[in-house]
């Protein structure tokens, strides 16, 4: 996936307002998920409609232009403490990138020291039909409100725009959007090209992404052609 996150304020850009992106309000999903914070590479989430399982995602790849690849497992448990015990049993091959979790996460979960936030989402899926030589693709735009163990002064309202395909097609989609819309993600104040684990880590620690996380955006390629 490729995802840009930026604080949601009056006048924030929206791809859904562009003439090429129509019918967006027909596909809206609303839910509130619980996240526990553990670094840029690991996401721990309990979906709003599930109280008996927790999802663990580990990032095991990131390209220089910000496209990320994750491994994911769903663990049958209902609390961070239970999750710690289940992760001790989990074989690494089941969760690519699990090495980034390490013993520190297990200890934090057991001690109840992981920071917890509630993330309310309003997600819109938009299909653009026959845009790339007859191929269609989808864009996801999600408005987010975060509450919980946040750092003082961190924004609570965010917008996420993402494209989820294999890396080469993601690049084609982003270059196409760069050429045909006015959306310039790196010109938005506070924008970060990160997934949900990165956003939650920033909001609970106040740490900006490492230098490599602020990747040059492939939208710019359209301008260089």
Average pLDDT for 147-166: 92
Specify the pairing of strand 135-148 against strand 116-132. antiparallel
183, 17 in Cβ contact below 8 A? no
127-151, pLDDT tens digit by residue? 776 677 778 888 888 999 999 999 9
C-alpha distance from residue 190 to each of 6, 28, 157, 161 (Å): 6, 26, 12, 14
- Report the alpha-carbon distance of residue 8 to residue 202 in Å, rounded: 16
Among residues 187, 163, 182, 172, the alpha carbon closest in space to that of 218 is found at 172
pLDDT (0 to 100) of residue 93: 47
81, 110 in Cβ contact below 8 A? yes
pLDDT (0 to 100) of residue 34: 95
Phi, psi of 34 (to 5 degrees): -100, 130
Beta bridge partners of residue 54, listed in sequence order:
75
51-60, pLDDT tens digit by residue? 889 998 888 8
Residue 225 or 87, more confident: 87
13-43, pLDDT tens digit by residue? 777 665 555 444 557 889 999 999 888 888 8
Q: Crossing angle for the helix pair 80-89 and 102-111, nearest 10 degrees?
A: 150
Q: pLDDT at residue 224 above 70?
A: no
Q: pLDDT at residue 73 above 70?
A: yes
For CA atoms 198, 199, 203, 204, the dihedral sign is negative
- Report the alpha-carbon distance of residue 56 to residue 94 in Å, rounded: 11
52, 144 in Cβ contact below 8 A? no
C-alpha distance from residue 219 to each of 13, 169, 216 (Å): 15, 13, 9
Q: Which pTM was predicted?
A: 0.83
Neighbour count for residue 156 (Cβ, 10 Å)? 15
């Amino acid at each position: 996936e490729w995802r840009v996150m930026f604080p949601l304020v009056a006048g924030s850009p929206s791809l859904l307002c562009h003439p090429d992106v129509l019918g967006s309000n027909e596909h809206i999903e609303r839910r509130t998920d619980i996240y526990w914070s553990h670094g840029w590479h690991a996401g721990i989430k309990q979906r709003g409609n599930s109280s008996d399982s927790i999802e663990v995602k580990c990032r095991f790849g990131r390209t220089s232009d910000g496209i990320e690849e994750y491994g994911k497992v769903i663990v049958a448990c209902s609390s961070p403490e239970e999750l710690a015990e289940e992760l001790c049993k989990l074989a690494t091959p089941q969760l690519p990138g699990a090495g980034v979790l390490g013993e520190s996460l297990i200890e934090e979960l057991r001690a109840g020291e992981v920071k917890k936030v509630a993330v309310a989402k309003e997600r819109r899926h938009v299909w653009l039909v026959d845009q790339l030589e007859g191929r269609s693709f989808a864009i996801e735009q999600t408005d987010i409100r975060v509450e919980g163990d946040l750092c003082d002064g961190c924004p609570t309202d965010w917008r996420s725009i993402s494209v989820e395909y294999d890396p080469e097609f993601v690049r084609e989609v982003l270059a196409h959007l760069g050429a045909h819309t006015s959306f310039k993600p790196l010109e938005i104040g506070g924008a970060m090209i990160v997934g949900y684990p990165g956003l939650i880590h920033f909001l609970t620690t106040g740490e900006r992404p490492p230098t490599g996380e602020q990747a040059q955006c492939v939208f710019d390629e359209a301008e260089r052609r």
